[in-house]
Amino acid sequence: MNPIAYNLQEMRNRIGVAANKAGRDPGSVTLIAVSKTKTENDVRVAIAAGQKLFGENRVQEAKAKFTSLRVEYPDLKLHLIGSLQTNKAEDAVRLFDVIETLDRPRLAMALAEAMKKTGRTPAFYVEVNIGAEPQKAGIAPTALGDFLAFCREACRLNITGLMAIPPQNEDPTPYFVRLRELAEQYKLTDLSMGMSGDFEAAIACGATEIRVGTAIFGARTAAAGE
């Protein structure tokens, strides 16, 4: 068996174990295979192994890799999990089904304009700076309510979830719990949290989506998002 296919099988098994341990239906947890920096052939192997949902960090890389793949496999779904520049908003709206890194009013306005121009209506998650880390993007938890109102009322964006990355070298559980509480407070159904090293804790705390790259595709240069 190809290593990627084997890793996917093992990951699904681990998701099932973690969900069962948390008293959850394994089907309530969706696996996003983070294919950033990986080749189109790597993605094809994952598709052949039954994976249909992928996460990418960069619009241009995803465009080069997935434009033809999405024609060939129309049931593929693609999430943007890396930071988005406003000048790439139109390309992102054209390509992605979900944009997980909505983190500032200017970007919300650019995405609203891109939707008008393209006629596409992806879903959006707000990226929350759950650990209040100055080097990280994201909306402060205390500012989330006002930002959601702006995105929904002024920009007419379909906000369905939250995404966050806990601080490194700390127990992620309190941060995952806080993100779940925020999602419940604002009645958001999608909760993207948990990566290769901490997804089991995220599942225990209510993650509906986990973002896993290295545990599927193997080691790569570290970058934010997965």
Query: 184: domain CATH number?
Result: 3.20.20.10
Task: Say if 224 falls within a structural domain.
Answer: no
Task: Say if 222 falls within a structural domain.
Answer: no
Orientation angle between helical segments 40-48 and 3-21, nearest 10 degrees: 60
Task: Say if 168 falls within a structural domain.
Answer: yes
User: In this predicted structure, what is the pLDDT of residue 219?
Assistant: 79
Task: Say if 159 falls within a structural domain.
Answer: yes
Q: What is the pTM of this model?
A: 0.94
Q: Render 155-166 in DSSP notation, one character per residue.
A: S---EEEEE--P
Task: Say if 226 falls within a structural domain.
Answer: no
117, 142 Cβ separation under 8 angstroms: no
Task: Say if 33 falls within a structural domain.
Answer: yes
Categorize the per-residue pLDDT at 1 as very low, low, confident or very high, splitting at 50, 70 and 90.
confident
- Total domain count, the chain: 1
CB-CB neighbours of 150 under 10 Å: 14
Task: Say if 142 falls within a structural domain.
Answer: yes
Range of the domain at 154: 3-217
Task: Say if 208 falls within a structural domain.
Answer: yes
225, 55 Cβ separation under 8 angstroms: yes
Q: What pLDDT, in 10s, does the model give residues 101-150? A: 999 999 999 999 999 999 999 999 999 999 999 999 999 999 999 999 99
Give the SS3 label for residue 31: strand
Q: What pLDDT, in 10s, does the model give residues 91-105? A: 999 999 999 999 999
